[in-house]
Structure 1
Amino acid sequence: MSEKPAVLVFTTAYFPFVGGAEVAIQEVARRLKNEYDFFIFTSRMDGKLPAREKRLEGLVIRIGFGNKFDKFWLLIFGWFVAWRELRKWHRKIIFWVMDFSFGAAVAGFLKIFYPKIPLVFTIQYGYGDERVKKGRGGLMNLAFRLILSQADYVTAISNYLLNLCKQYGYIGEEAVIHNGVDLKKFTNQESRIGNHVIISTSRRVYKNGLDILEKAFEIIKKKFPDAELKIVSDVPYDELPKYLWKASIFVRPSRSEGMGNAFIEALAAGLPIIGTPVGGILDIIEDGQTGLFAKVDDPQDLAEKIKILLEDKKLVSQIIENGRKIVEERFSWDKIAAQYAEVFNSQLNTKKRILIVTGIFPPDVGGPATYSKILLDELPKENFCAKVLSFGSVKYLPKGISHIAYFLKAMRLGARADIIFAQDPVSVGLPAMLAAKILRKKFILKIVGDYAWEQGVQRFEVKEILDDFLNKKYGINVEVLRKIEKFVANHTEKIIVPSEYLKKVVSAWGVNPNKIKVIYNAFDFKDFEHTLRRPTSKLIVSAGRLVPWKGFGTLIEIMPKILREVPDAKLIIIGDGPERHKLKLQVATWRLGRQVELIGNLPHKKVLEYLASADAFILNTAYEGFSHQILEAMAIGAPVITTNVCGNPELVENNVSGILVEFNDKEAIKNSILKLLKDEKLTQKLTSAAFQKSKQFSKERMINETIKILL
């Protein structure tokens, strides 16, 4: 019995039925056969084909009776055939699923019974997102979501397809791994004559736009009577290069395209190419450099592009040369196989599998979203496998039902994890804790605030600041939330908090302080240091959720006094929340429409650009466990004014790395802002010290300390 890991490949069709997916399996498996044993489960579809065939790449196991209905037999019996093979082995195993199809359903069913076997899903689908959404009466939509929920790792042959997976709810480890081409096989072995042969190696399906090509060719024929059009389909794959060598231009005016392997093959054969700017073709064609773009469904424009390549020999040579370079650099099967080997190894040799459960995730804005994204990006680098379950995946459901659905998802995904890591103690923490206890999984909790107090202020007329709130009793709604967060916190193995202040808060709930670990949040400034610019205008920036304890109303109220001394000052408030309408009315009442702007939620990078442009960053808050926004402002070089409350003094030393004031102290806030707007030396002194302080909060430190908790 072989000691090598086994890769079970699930695909609806396989050789001699050839498409991009089948070629990918063959080429990758042949290059990795010394490291892994490949078992390819597929439908038979031809009675002449053997049920089991040993090929160079591995063992092909065909299911069915040799007719067109075999893909349904694959669906019904494929799991049983694969299960019989699995029973024979005592070695590492990985499921590799090629596209969402009947083969994917087989692997998804097996995953229910073998949750610890990693499943790598490769999407090659080329028919466009509209068909995914509505195809087969909505069943394709459901099937796609199901296989994504089962996947431990997703690879896509184009950025377009990877983004499609994210649109359908996938949050986990991912990579774009293109299909490739065998350069030796496709490099032109014949002397190409200066002909006018236009070729398309494309099946006659709607998505490939061959009807548009034929209409364009009618226009071309008037200008070039000797031009020929060859549409090649259903030929043995090994014979394909000979057809390409006899042509002068490759064209496929696709209406949709997952990637378009035919374009790569044409470039490898030394042909200039014309495509449309849809789907994965955007990863291949740089207009005017590695090919030409024609408009979708426009025969006239397509004819114009063909005419250009028939006449402009210099451009043709440039496209051929550039095309050859990108094929060698990005589409070599050797490099692609090495990428798959890296994925397989990461899944088979992981330290732990972590399920990160969070209320929000990018593009949502907020500390838990930022933190969860950092974990997802960084933990795999340390040999952890990570997957994210965001409450956004069930938010469309009615309240109550959404929490039940979230619990069921946590149960299903948690069965495959070693650790469930929740990012709050109530909305996601309670269902995650229950799932962890039922599944007997290690449960870790991160607490960044007092959920009962926050909800009390927003919904139940709590007026007290957090320190006072901790020592008082309230109505049943608030007390129930208090009991939930205490219950969840007491049933976790470890609690992570981002400040010493929050450790005291959680301890005050009645939680053993010995299980609470302070790990400060982090900010990675590398991606932004070369792109930020500071304008000449006087810009005051504030950011956060628009809730009462953030004190945005006070900032609006003091703006008229600031404008008397600094007429060109402007206040930008970034964020959204329940106070938005009230704040807009306040701006209108003070007639500050030009001087105060509420710009809502922004992508994280855009927020950082505003911080980099700020002459003063102000966070007038009654409560802050540990502020990502303050840390980001300090790292970027925006002078900071904030309140002397909660975790803020752990970041900002008054008059050294920023200015501390009391919450809603209008006079102190106004004077501090005017100081920064007028005193450049003070600003430079504060920002220099703040930048040095921010270096203590590195991403590497945060991840290393978090890993100690996870192990």
Structure 2
Amino acid sequence: MSNLRVCIVSPLFHPNLGGSARQAYTMADRLNKKGLSLMVITRRLDVGIPKLDNVEVHSVRSLMPCKHSLSDFTFLNFLISISFSLGAVMRLLVWRKRFEIVQFYGASLPLLLCLPLLKILRKKIVAKISGARKGMEVGSLRGFVFAPVLAVVFSFTDRFIVMSDELREGVLSEKFSESKVVKIPNGVDTGIFAPAQEERYYELRRKLGFEGGKVFLYSGRLAEGKGIEFLIKAMTEVDAVDNILLVLLGNGVVEDNLRMMAYELTLGNFLRFEGTVSNVADYLNAADIFVFPSLSEGMPNALLEAMACGLPVIASKIGGVVDVVEDGKSGILFEPGDVSGLASAMVRLLNDNELRLKLGAEARKRIVDSFSIDKIADEYINLYKEVLD
């Protein structure tokens, strides 16, 4: 049993509200099972948080509990983040004797407002950089009017966790000490996200209505920068389009535009919008190929989960993706925004069953060997011990 006492501050903390929320929840669950004493401060939303045994979760009231994602830098999101951050400051002050380390998910406004108090209290501060909050998060401050001031304040953080080499370079370019920047990738529960037996595969396809041709799957937010419009356009360049289905999991601000695009390209019968689902693993195990066309990412949980399920993946050659997918070995990479390149990869996998099986097996091995949640949790524990020394 460990005697480490950690407080997690994460605006989103839920297994079914996107990658960062699921990562925070899954990591807390695993750290708890490894004996850490944990408490969590998060936003109170319009959905309940599944209980974790022996983990205290404290929900802070904030503006607009129905708005989950705060990744876009807008004035409304700024106000929501301010309201959550002030609540977090009060709780950190009240419960100051119950933790020695504070782990922030995101190196942005909550960290900025909580830092002065935590330094006065002599607490150790670890911040994981998401790579999604352009303009105010560490690693993307360049060009922001208050960047010099923010950089000075953020420099009092004891360690920054980055998920990819690209994020690491972004942080170092802002003159943060190299000794404070630690690369630890995201992790995935390889027990929950695991390949299905053949019988289960067909059972899930019947249940989800996937009977027939091959199923391409995307999981993630339907938002600007996710590249889904390129995926839809690529469908028109696949000769066997009459015998395939594209399934999109998730929702977001561009959903209506994507639906209109599919209608205009007469792809309505070959594309399904499933919205946010709680059984992502079932969809992955009923699909044949996973596609991730995003233009920019830190390290996408959706990609890790698909690979853990043994799916062959086609992904854009960006950020954290290239740290995970070995092109031609554990997946196929294409240049971001390259519709023809994406379509070519889709056709290649459609026509080569042996390659699909090979890439899927290598993808599973890659995740088990290097990105299992158990392994990544051990890296977090070692980091916590290091900052206390």
Per-residue CA distance 1:81-120 (angstroms, 9 max, x = gap): xxxxxxxxxxxxxxxxxxxxxxxxxxxxxxxxxxxxxxxx
Number of the residue aligned with 1:420? 102
What code does the residue aligned with 1:520 have?
P
Q: What are the equivalent positions in structure 2 for 1:513-662 lying under 5 Å apart?
A: 513-529=178-194, 532-533=200-201, 535=205, 536-562=212-238, 564-603=239-278, 606-662=279-335
Alpha-carbon distance in structure 1 between the residues aligned to 2:280 and 2:181: 31
Number of the residue aligned with 2:145? 479
Could you say if the C-alpha distance between residues 504 and 672 of structure 1 is closer, same or farther in structure 2, counting changes exceeding 3 Å? same
Q: What are the equivalent positions in structure 2 for 1:25-424 lying under 5 Å apart?
A: 351-392=3-44, 393-396=60-63, 399=80, 400-424=82-106
Per-residue CA distance 1:180-208 (angstroms, 9 max, x = gap): xxxxxxxxxxxxxxxxxxxxxxxxxxxxx
Per-residue CA distance 1:631-674 (angstroms, 9 max, x = gap): 11111111101111212111111111110100110101011111
CA contact (8 A) 1:627 1:648 kept: yes
Alpha-carbon distance in structure 2 between the residues aligned to 1:433 and 1:387: 18
Question: How much does 1:373 deviate?
Answer: 1.6
CA contact (8 A) 2:193 2:308 kept: no
What code does the residue aligned with 1:707 have?
I
Structure with a larger share of its residues in helix: 1
Could you say which structure has the larger radius of gyration? Answer: 1
2:284 aligned counterpart, secondary structure: helix
What code does the residue aligned with 1:510 have?
K
Question: How much does 1:689 deviate?
Answer: 1.6
2:377 matches 1:703: yes
1:660 aligned counterpart, secondary structure: strand
What code does the residue aligned with 1:394 have?
R
Could you say if the C-alpha distance between residues 651 and 609 of structure 1 is closer, same or farther in structure 2, counting changes exceeding 3 Å? same
Alpha-carbon distance in structure 1 between the residues aligned to 2:274 and 2:124: 41
Alpha-carbon distance in structure 2 between the residues aligned to 1:675 and 1:648: 20
Number of the residue aligned with 2:353? 680
Per-residue CA distance 1:286-314 (angstroms, 9 max, x = gap): xxxxxxxxxxxxxxxxxxxxxxxxxxxxx
CA contact (8 A) 1:426 1:484 kept: no
Q: Could you tell me which runs of 5 or more consecutive residues in structure 1 were left unpaired when the two chains were aligned.
A: 1-345, 456-465
CA contact (8 A) 1:542 1:574 kept: yes
Per-residue CA distance 1:433-489 (angstroms, 9 max, x = gap): 23312322111111121522599xxxxxxxxxx9xx88x63xxxx434x45763454
CA contact (8 A) 2:217 2:247 kept: yes
Question: How much does 1:702 deviate?
Answer: 0.9
Q: Could you tell me which runs of 5 or more consecutive residues in structure 2 were left unpaired when the two chains were aligned.
A: 45-59, 65-78, 206-211
Alpha-carbon distance in structure 2 between the residues aligned to 1:523 and 1:511: 29
Q: What TM-score comes out, normalization by structure 2 length?
A: 0.80
- Point out which structure has higher relative CO (alpha carbons under 8 A, 6+ apart): 2
Percent sequence identity over aligned pairs:
27
Alpha-carbon distance in structure 2 between the residues aligned to 1:579 and 1:503: 30
Alpha-carbon distance in structure 2 between the residues aligned to 1:656 and 1:412: 51
CA contact (8 A) 1:644 1:661 kept: yes
CA contact (8 A) 1:380 1:386 kept: yes
Per-residue CA distance 1:159-196 (angstroms, 9 max, x = gap): xxxxxxxxxxxxxxxxxxxxxxxxxxxxxxxxxxxxxx
- Residues paired across the two proteins, number: 342
Question: How much does 1:430 deviate?
Answer: 2.1
What code does the residue aligned with 1:381 have?
K
Number of the residue aligned with 2:76? none
1:571 aligned counterpart, secondary structure: strand
Question: How much does 1:394 deviate?
Answer: 2.3
What code does the residue aligned with 1:645 have?
I
Number of the residue aligned with 2:51? none
Number of the residue aligned with 1:509? 174
What code does the residue aligned with 2:320 have?
G
Per-residue CA distance 1:315-345 (angstroms, 9 max, x = gap): xxxxxxxxxxxxxxxxxxxxxxxxxxxxxxx
Could you say if the C-alpha distance between residues 552 and 528 of structure 1 is closer, same or farther in structure 2, counting changes exceeding 3 Å? closer
1:542 aligned counterpart, secondary structure: strand
Alpha-carbon distance in structure 2 between the residues aligned to 1:664 and 1:674: 17
What code does the residue aligned with 1:631 have?
L
Alpha-carbon distance in structure 1 between the residues aligned to 2:365 and 2:234: 31
Alpha-carbon distance in structure 2 between the residues aligned to 1:453 and 1:573: 28
Alpha-carbon distance in structure 2 between the residues aligned to 1:514 and 1:620: 33
What code does the residue aligned with 1:662 have?
E
Alpha-carbon distance in structure 2 between the residues aligned to 1:556 and 1:708: 43
Alpha-carbon distance in structure 1 between the residues aligned to 2:105 and 2:249: 23
Question: How much does 1:415 deviate?
Answer: 4.3
CA contact (8 A) 2:23 2:301 kept: no
1:405 aligned counterpart, secondary structure: helix
What code does the residue aligned with 1:503 have?
R
What code does the residue aligned with 1:575 have?
G
What code does the residue aligned with 2:122 have?
R
Alpha-carbon distance in structure 1 between the residues aligned to 2:268 and 2:243: 14
Question: How much does 1:612 deviate?
Answer: 1.8
What code does the residue aligned with 1:409 have?
R
Alpha-carbon distance in structure 2 between the residues aligned to 1:701 and 1:667: 37
What code does the residue aligned with 2:145 have?
E
> Which residue, 686, 691, 694 being the options, matches 2:367?
694
Alpha-carbon distance in structure 2 between the residues aligned to 1:578 and 1:407: 31
Per-residue CA distance 1:501-536 (angstroms, 9 max, x = gap): 221121112211211111122112223546751545
Question: How much does 1:358 deviate?
Answer: 0.5
Alpha-carbon distance in structure 2 between the residues aligned to 1:526 and 1:706: 20
1:668 aligned counterpart, secondary structure: helix
Question: How much does 1:577 deviate?
Answer: 2.2
Question: How much does 1:554 deviate?
Answer: 1.1
Question: How much does 1:402 deviate?
Answer: 4.0
Per-residue CA distance 1:17-68 (angstroms, 9 max, x = gap): xxxxxxxxxxxxxxxxxxxxxxxxxxxxxxxxxxxxxxxxxxxxxxxxxxxx
RMSD value over aligned CA atoms? 2.5
